[in-house]
Amino acid sequence: MGKIRINSDYVKGQAEQLQNIENTLQNIASEVNQCSANLRWNITSSERIRRQLGIYSQQTQKLSEKCNRLSVVLEEDVRLYNDLEKKLAGQAGAGTTVNSQKNNVTATAAGMTNMQFTDWIQQLFHQEDREGDYEIESVVFDDEGGYGGDQGSPQMQYGEDRIALYDIVRQYHPDWTDKEIQNYLRKLNSEGCGYVAIANTIFRQYEGKEKEFRKKFGFSMYKNGDLNYNELIVDFYAATDNHNKGWFWSDKVNDQEDPTDIEGWGTTPESQKYRAQLYMKEKNISVDVQTNKNITVDNYQKLAEKGSVIINYHYGNLYDADGNVVQYIDGGHSMTVTGVTEDGRYIVSSWGGKYYIDPNEMLNRDTSYDFVYYKYK
């Protein structure tokens, strides 16, 4: 059985370096905050710049906290290892067990195996990471404007905003009348949750890249003081609605997919994946949509740091912040997962609002998860 041997002096040195990095990151976060406070620009984008600086400051602060966490782990590692060696020196060959109350991790007198040591490190981190709620830091899911997109919003627009949406639809259906487009947006409201969930992931990936967004999609990333959810959702929907993967990777449009012109069947994980990739391909954007991904409240944060998570939720309650049932999801509803709570619930974006799901209420055979990851060309 393999043994762990630790160079205590070297590990202590690494812990000290992490402490220095922690202090440096804290200073950077403070400087970013000071920069934001000193902004005196009287331009329309000033608030957006301040909001983005706030996000950068929070992200830097979190990195600082992680450095501190790892430094503490390394110091605790050295202490436990040295304590174990002292016991071994006095009880050579005995089957003594050393127990740390802090971690509830044991090591036999023969020494810890590699697997035991790895599990111990992970346990320390896990205890720290699950303290408090974890939520994505993003302008898409902040307290200003919508908390993600709303599939019902496009049909409610009027004036110039409505004209802009109608013009987008006519790029794909040039002969449609205003009445036909109005019905089309009603249909979007009935089945558009999967499109909205993908649109949220697009905005998240393009934070701070407004010029690149306009170049790729043909319209502004922001409108009326908020992210331009409606135009992106309508463009994505009009470009891919009822498109499905055909033989030999051909694109097949099923005009009979919807029961009526104002009601749709929605998307499946497979059609959601295909339509997202089809839409992004036309924009020369590479996206990987992994369906039926094994996602839990425990591994969510690690995945969310690399991409976006969508839950396809079936048959369960949707709660508000006070624990009240907002709606019972009967059938299926796609939502972007934005975080997890300390007590093990998912935080989700739906209809432009912030809600909560209890995984203990899920029927696992019906609920599934998608993982969305972008690569820029």
Q: Is 166 in the same domain as 229? A: yes
Q: Read off the pLDDT of residues 154-178 as tens digits, 9 standing for 90 and up.
A: 999 999 999 999 999 999 999 999 9
Q: What distance in Å separates the CA atoms of residue 199 and residue 272, rounded to the nearest whole number?
A: 11
C-beta separation of 329 from 361 below 8 A: no
The overall pTM is greater than 0.75: no
192 Cβ contact list (under 8 Å, min separation 6): 151, 233, 237, 264
Q: Read off the pLDDT of residues 78-135 as tens digits, 9 standing for 90 and up.
A: 787 787 777 777 765 544 444 443 343 333 333 445 555 555 455 444 444 445 788 8
| CA angle centred on 180, ends 177 and 182, rounded to 5° | 110
Q: Is 229 in the same domain as 171? A: yes
Neighbour-count burial of 256, counting CB atoms closer than 10 A to its CB (0-12 exposed, 13-18 middle, 19+ buried):
exposed
The number of folded domains in the chain is 3
Q: Is 239 in the same domain as 183? A: yes
What mean pLDDT value characterizes the chain?
Answer: 81
Q: Is 250 in the same domain as 304? A: no
| CA angle centred on 261, ends 259 and 264, rounded to 5° | 50
Q: Is 232 in the same domain as 359? A: no
| CA angle centred on 301, ends 300 and 307, rounded to 5° | 85
Of the two residues 49 and 314, the one the predictor is more confident about is: 314
Q: Is 202 in the same domain as 225? A: yes
Largest CA distance in the chain: 89
Amino acid present at 349: S
Number of H helices, E strands in the chain: 10, 15
Q: What distance in Å separates the CA atoms of residue 334 and residue 340, rounded to the nearest whole number?
A: 17
What percentage of the chain reaches a pLDDT higher than 70? 80
Strand 368-375 relative to strand 222-223, pairing: unpaired
Q: Given this model, what pLDDT does residue 129 score?
A: 47
E strand or H helix that includes residue 355: strand 353-357
Low-confidence winner among 4-8, 72-76, 339-343 (lowest mean pLDDT): 4-8
Q: Is 304 in the same domain as 282? A: no
Q: What are phi and psi of 356, to 5 degrees?
A: -135, 150
Q: Is 153 in the same domain as 269? A: yes
Low-confidence winner among 61-70, 169-178, 310-319, 331-340 (lowest mean pLDDT): 61-70
- 135 in any annotated domain: no
Low-confidence winner among 80-84, 289-293, 338-342, 343-347 (lowest mean pLDDT): 80-84
Q: Read off the pLDDT of residues 224-279 as tens digits, 9 standing for 90 and up.
A: 888 999 999 999 999 999 888 878 778 888 888 888 888 888 888 898 999 999 99
Q: Given this model, what pLDDT does residue 16 score?
A: 84
- 71 in any annotated domain: yes
For position 336, which CATH number holds?
A: 2.30.30.40
C-beta separation of 188 from 154 below 8 A: yes
Q: Is 203 in the same domain as 256? A: yes
C-beta separation of 327 from 318 below 8 A: yes
Q: Which one of 259, 286, 313 terminates a domain?
A: 286
- 292 in any annotated domain: no
Range of the domain at 231: 146-286
Q: Is 319 in the same domain as 347? A: yes
